């Protein structure tokens, strides 16, 4: 029997970047725990495929809403669509983002803006518009997906690291600002995970070099992120806000 602390039945969640990678795993986790889910990305075909698969596996209501999370008007329309479908938003997971490595000498203005827009502006705007609906009910839970690189640094990751560190700062500030409305705001900081996009890399010299620095001597299985997102999304942490949770095999301990 599922503990009532982790039961998300009756809850509705929005997950940006929810049609692939770690976002897809988070969507499965919340639906498996009883939540109805709205997935957000820019490609409706991907959203439809993943939504149907999650519904088939869990029986939960799952919809896909195409939106560019860097565009204010599209975010507002997305929130309206979710409210029309479900009538409430209990959980927002700001997961959409990009990674990449570029030496600062080669970092163009356009690339810098792309990192800032998707990794920082997107979560700010989504929180702003979803927060309006949460504040009306004096209840809500926002989870910002930051990164191991909010704490440690690596060569050529200035843009990525800057956005993820800023996202943690935004999380803490928003938690303080919105506590009066009973809206909790926390950050999840994943380390390295084995995904289809990077699977082959972990067998290379560079990949093995990174693994050697992780105290647990391995990268994570995406499914290992599911318990953490359920914990943050559930009533198991009702007295927790402004906190940063690392799921990284201990990597943040040693840099």
Residue 244's beta-bridge partner residues? 187
Q: Which of 28, 156, 160, 192 is catalytic?
A: 160
Q: Is 194 helix (H, G, I), strand (E, B) or coil?
A: coil
Strand ranges in 95-252 using DSSP code E only, listed in sequence order: 140-145, 183-190, 244-247
Nearest to 91 by CA among 173, 157, 170, 36: 36
Cβ neighbour number for residue 174 with a 10 Å cutoff: 23
Residue owning tokens 């999370």: 69
Q: Is 246 helix (H, G, I), strand (E, B) or coil?
A: strand
Nearest to 184 by CA among 120, 236, 109: 236
Nearest to 80 by CA among 91, 67, 70: 67
CA 228 to chain centre: 11
- Is 192 among the residues known to form the active site? no
Tell me the two tokens of residue 129.
Answer: 């518009």
CB 21 within 8 A of CB 222: yes
CB 209 within 8 A of CB 111: no
Residue owning tokens 């939106």: 67
**12-16 vs 91-94, strand pairing mode:** parallel
Active site amino acids: 160
């Amino acid at each position: 029997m599922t503990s009532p602390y982790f039961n998300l039945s009756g809850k509705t969640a929005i997950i940006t970047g929810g049609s692939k990678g770690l976002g897809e795993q988070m969507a499965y986790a919340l639906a498996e725990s009883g939540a109805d889910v709205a997935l957000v990305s820019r490609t409706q075909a991907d959203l439809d495929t993943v939504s149907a698969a999650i519904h088939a596996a869990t029986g939960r209501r799952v919809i896909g809403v195409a939106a560019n999370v860097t565009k204010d008007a599209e975010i507002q329309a997305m929130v309206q669509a979710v409210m029309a479908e479900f009538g409430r938003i209990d959980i927002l997971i700001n997961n959409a983002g990009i990674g990449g490595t570029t030496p600062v000498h080669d970092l163009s203005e356009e690339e810098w803006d792309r990192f800032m827009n998707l990794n920082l502006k997107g979560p700010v705007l989504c929180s702003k518009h979803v927060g309006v609906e949460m504040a009306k009910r004096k209840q809500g839970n926002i989870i910002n997906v930051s990164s191991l690189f909010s704490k440690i640094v690596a060569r050529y990751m200035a843009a990525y690291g800057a956005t993820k560190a800023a996202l943690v700062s935004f999380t803490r500030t928003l938690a303080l600002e919105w506590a009066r409305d009973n809206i909790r705001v926390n950050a999840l900081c994943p380390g390295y995970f084995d995904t289809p996009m990077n699977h082959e890399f972990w067998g290379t010299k560079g990949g093995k070099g990174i693994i050697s620095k992780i105290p647990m001597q391995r990268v994570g299985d995406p499914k290992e992120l599911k318990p953490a997102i359920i914990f943050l999304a559930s009533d198991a942490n009702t007295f927790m806000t402004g906190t940063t949770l690392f799921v990284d095999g201990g990597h943040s301990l040693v840099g």
